[in-house]
Amino acid sequence: MAKRDEYLARLRVFESDSAKRSLNREERAAESELLEKVKEADDQIRRHLEAAAAEEQAMRVTSPLQEMGTTRSLGRKVEARVNATPGELMARSIEMSRGITTAGTNKAFSPEEMARTFVDLLAPQSVVMESGVQRVQTGAETYAFPVIRSDFSAGFVGELDDLPTGGFGADPLKVTPKKIAAADLIANELMDDGGAAFLNPMAKSLMRSVALGFDREALIGTGSGKGFVGIANTPGIQTHAVKGGLKDLDPFVTAFGNLEAANAKATAIVMSPKAWTALMALRESSGSLKPLLSESAGSPTTGVQRSILGVPVWLSSFVPETDILAYEADQVFAVWRKDAGFQISDQFGFLKDGTAVRAIARAAIAVPNAAAVCKITVTT
């Protein structure tokens, strides 16, 4: 728009001059060139408007998401639904990137609405997001949480006495979302001929890679390199050491009690598949076939729900076998930058007749109240 206004301003100068005198050949040529540039700017604006209208209409199409597992429970009896499959999301990005060919878009166009849908579709692939942590979406490079260090001082006072003051203290906890990405060059034959049958699994694979990268850092990240500090390594979290391996559920009772003492409540447990297998092998009593985690006194072949003392259990291969995390999900925050999404470009693979695809997310984990997490460490 700014360039178009500039062209029009220069044309008005020619119009003003032509009213006073005849334009020479060079001036008329310059005037014709400006008219062509205004026409190109108008065509560019029209393509943007048409693409935006097509995107808005496509977002209204409802897809059979149950088959993809993108209709999910957030752990608090709230259902979240999104209106596009990963393949449809990527197909729209491809269509728009090929339709908008200006230097400004660099043929890699991913609008904010598409970025929001990308994060929604990413969540079911992430153990941390599925465990019910709160999601904060921001456009800022750094997001600040207010962390209360001490409470107000309250006391009984008489009428017209001075009210008690002081005691309250708070500091900002600054969180910078870090970039997590996956990319590759795909043959144009697959992109053009495969359709949704190819784009959907490819898009899901891209998202799964990004989700696993986020989970790894969110659970056990140390902050070294280009990552961020995860839940298990957040300074100030509570710990509980167990020696001799897991023999019963007492360590969880202790961990839950520690959380309650800090005005928190265990709503999620994350452990390794091997740790869960060890718990499944525990029996109700010596010589019994009934698993300790079985709900009823019925047959030992009855299925066991993945929960401990009523708290849901999530499994992740990133968590060491010796560590188990118990936390209140409402007090753990996943901070996402809103510019995450699919991006497409056929420029990188022009000489190879390929299309470059990438999925980028910018995210970090934050635990303002570190005491709302308790890490159980099991040793032999």
Q: What is the pLDDT of residues 306-327, one digit of tens each?
A: 899 999 999 999 999 999 999 9
CA distance 184 to 357: 6
Question: What's the token pair of residue 107?
Answer: 């043929």
The predicted pLDDT at position 367 comes to 93
Q: Is the pLDDT of residue 23 over 80?
A: no
Which of 47-61, 173-187, 238-252 is predicted least confidently?
47-61
The predicted pLDDT at position 59 comes to 45
Using DSSP, state whether 96 is helix, strand or coil: helix
Residue bearing tokens 């007492």: 250
The predicted pLDDT at position 219 comes to 96
The predicted pLDDT at position 93 comes to 62
The predicted pLDDT at position 114 comes to 57
Mean pLDDT (whole number) for 43-63: 56
Mean pLDDT (whole number) for 24-28: 78
Q: Is the pLDDT of residue 339 over 90?
A: no
Which of 59-63, 111-115, 168-172 is predicted least confidently?
59-63
The predicted pLDDT at position 241 comes to 96
CA distance 183 to 190: 16
CA distance 349 to 256: 54
Q: Is the pLDDT of residue 260 over 90?
A: yes
The predicted pLDDT at position 120 comes to 75
Please report, rounded to a whole number, the percentage of residues in the chain having pLDDT higher than 90: 32
Q: Is 56 exposed, middle or buried (0-12, 13-18, 19+ CB in 10 A)?
A: exposed
Instruction: Please give the residue that has the higher pLDDT: either 290 or 222.
Output: 222
Q: Is the pLDDT of residue 79 over 90?
A: no
Q: Is the pLDDT of residue 80 over 70?
A: no
Q: Is the pLDDT of residue 300 over 70?
A: no
DSSP assignments along 111-154, one per residue: -HHHHHHHHHHHGGG-HHHHTTPEEEEESSSSEEEEEEEEPPP-
The predicted pLDDT at position 273 comes to 95
Mean pLDDT (whole number) for 175-198: 82
CA distance 325 to 100: 47
Q: How confident is the model at residue 103 (pLDDT cuts 50, 70, 90)?
A: very low
Q: Is the pLDDT of residue 97 over 60?
A: no
Q: In angstroms, what CA-CA distances link 81 with 71, 86, 294?
A: 5, 13, 32
Question: What's the token pair of residue 264?
Answer: 């928190």
Q: How confident is the model at residue 119 (pLDDT cuts 50, 70, 90)?
A: confident
Mean pLDDT (the chain) is 78
Q: Which range has the top average pLDDT, 33-37, 72-76, 137-141, 272-276?
A: 272-276
The predicted pLDDT at position 95 comes to 60
At 128-142, the pLDDT tens digits run 999 999 999 888 889
